[in-house]
Each structure stands twice: as structure tokens, then as C-alpha cells.
Structure 1
Amino acid sequence: MVETDAPFLTPTPYRGRPNAPYMVPITLRSMAETLGTDASMLAAQIASNTELVYGAWDAEPVTVDE
């Protein structure tokens, strides 16, 4: 998964600003370059990993019986 909660690990060219979710694509492209892979392939793998961790986003919502 791609991290955005580390306030002091903002990717270049935004270094010095607070990190935020809108910077995930920049981080992902940097990761792909470092790994020597295509960014879209890495994004697909990360999406698959995220679904394994959190479940499908279109799954039935969790309800609480009262």
C-alpha cells in the first residue's frame, strides 16, 4: 500500500509541505521508477493488495443488530 500519513516524507517536488492523499500518484510513480516497473502495473498490484487487506469496496456494508 502507499503511505500518505508520514508528515515529513512528502515526495519531491512538494518536499517541505505536509503530506496528503493527493500526493499518492507522485509517490506511486517514484516507487515504480525505483522498482523498474510500469506505474499502471504497480497501481493495479497495490489496488489488489488494498482489497486483500480491507475487502472489496462494493461489498455489503457492515450493520449492527440492535
Structure 2
Amino acid sequence: KQAGFEKIRVHDLRHTFASLMVMSGVDLKTVQELLGHQDYRVTEIYAHLSPLHLQEAIKKLPI
């Protein structure tokens, strides 16, 4: 509370971990293993891409 953060749950940290791993180029299968998910679709729910990451990906198009 003193740092100005709202409630942060372990669940939130797992989302952050998965998102940062995927945006750093780690493949989804590896993130799935690290999180202990049986199904990759669960990992897809955890891994979010930032708007900046998406913009940078679009810039890579040779147009």
C-alpha cells in the first residue's frame, strides 16, 4: 500500500511472467512448461502482448 500499488496477487505475477517471456521471444511451449500448464490454451490466456510490442511487430513488415 505504501508503494502505491493496488492489491497484487500471485495470479497477477503469473500473467506478468508469461507476458514478459512471450514478448522476449520465448516460445509458448516453453512458457507452458515453466508455468506447469497441461494445455497450451491456458498459457495463451496468461500471455498478453503489449500495444507497443504489437506496433513493433507491424513495423517489421517490408512495406
Q: TM-score, normalised by structure 2?
A: 0.35
* Larger CA Rg, structure 1 vs 2: 1
RCO (CA 8 Å, sep 6+): is it higher in 1 or 2? 2
